[in-house]
Amino acid sequence: MQHFEFEYPYAFLLLLLIICIYKCPLSIKKIIFPHTTLFSQKAHWFNREKLLYSIIFTLLVTALASPISYDSKNAQQRKGRDLVFVLDTSGSMEESDYSAENRQASKFSILQNLIKTFVTKRFDDNVGVSVFGSFAFNVVPITYDMHSLVYMLNFLEVGMAGNSTAIGDGLQRALEMLQKSNARNKVIILITDGYQNSGVTKIKDAVALAKKMNVKIYTIGVGKKSDYDAKLLERIAKDTDARSFEAADAAALQNVYKELDNLEPSAIRSQHYLNRQVLFTYPLAFAILLLLYLLAKRRS
């Protein structure tokens, strides 16, 4: 049986704003004109235009509420963990000659491909991604939809968060994601090739929060050991009961991922939709068409 629902129904509260289109007072100066009948046609169009704007706004809110259809929905009990990758996207990650097989490839592109391979095997994990450079932000919230995550990984690039290295900020963003996690095992995989030289969050404060939340931070130093703060990465991992790894080249990085594969899983409860279809594109497309019609009408 086909079911239908909205993922974010509270978005419909925005429809209350439509009242303003009709009720909010406008300050308009009166102009005396002897032949007001000339404006009757214009007034009629103005009323119809307000109605069309109301319909457009309603369609946009409907799209925002994210309508979906599905055959069935059930809660699943799975074994896995909530895992967040914290990736260094600073300028130094653009350096090549990291792989013996492909010396033209940058460290970051090799890292991207390895993460894609890694997460496609994580059928029972929830995974998120944060990036950091001069600042940090979350790119992919924690999800079990690995296809969407891999798709988003394609859009990551060196320098997207600036060219410095704010490790503390990167950890802080990841911990914010994990604060809502109900998984018993919460893991951060921090990957960097440099020294902390930017950001507002002190690394010791981020580590203290991780310990309080029982989050393990596995660290991976990419490239020559002299290029990154190996002692710092070892201390972060040790303080959170995790491990620190060295990845001098692409082959070593691949071996690190094999070791990470053996992390102990725990039970995760999540929603599973069968034959789920996202339908927000329909009201969105209709809203755009109506808006284009209005613009064309105004020009004419």
pLDDT over 90 (residue 202): yes
Residue 10: pLDDT band with limits 50, 70, 90: confident
Residue closest to 247 by CA, chosen among 53, 115, 59: 115
Q: How far apart are CA 141 and CA 273, in angstroms?
A: 19
Q: What percent of the chain has pLDDT over 70?
A: 80
Q: What average pLDDT does this structure show over 173-185? A: 89
**Which tens digit of pLDDT belongs to each residue from 243-262?**
999 988 888 888 888 777 77
Compute the average pLDDT of residues 125-147.
91
Q: Is the model's pLDDT at 185 over the cut of 50?
A: yes
SS3 label, residue 197: coil
- C-alpha to C-alpha distances, 29 to 26, 32, 46, 66, nearest whole angstrom: 10, 10, 18, 42
pLDDT score recorded for residue 221? 92
Confidence of residue 204 (pLDDT cuts 50, 70, 90): very high
Q: What is the pLDDT of residue 234?
A: 96
**Has domain 76-269 been given CATH number 3.40.50.300?**
no
pLDDT at residue 41, as a whole number: 52
Gap between the Cα atoms of 23 and 20, Å rounded: 5
What pLDDT, on a 0 to 100 scale, did the predictor assign at position 258? 79
Region of residue 214 (left: phi > 0; alpha: psi -120 to 50; beta: else): left
Q: What angle do CA 98, 100, 105 make, to 5 degrees?
A: 50
Residues 6+ away with beta carbon under 8 Å from 55: 290
Answer yes or no: is pLDDT of 54 > 50. yes
- Looking at the chain, the domain(s) classified CATH 3.40.50.410 span 76-269
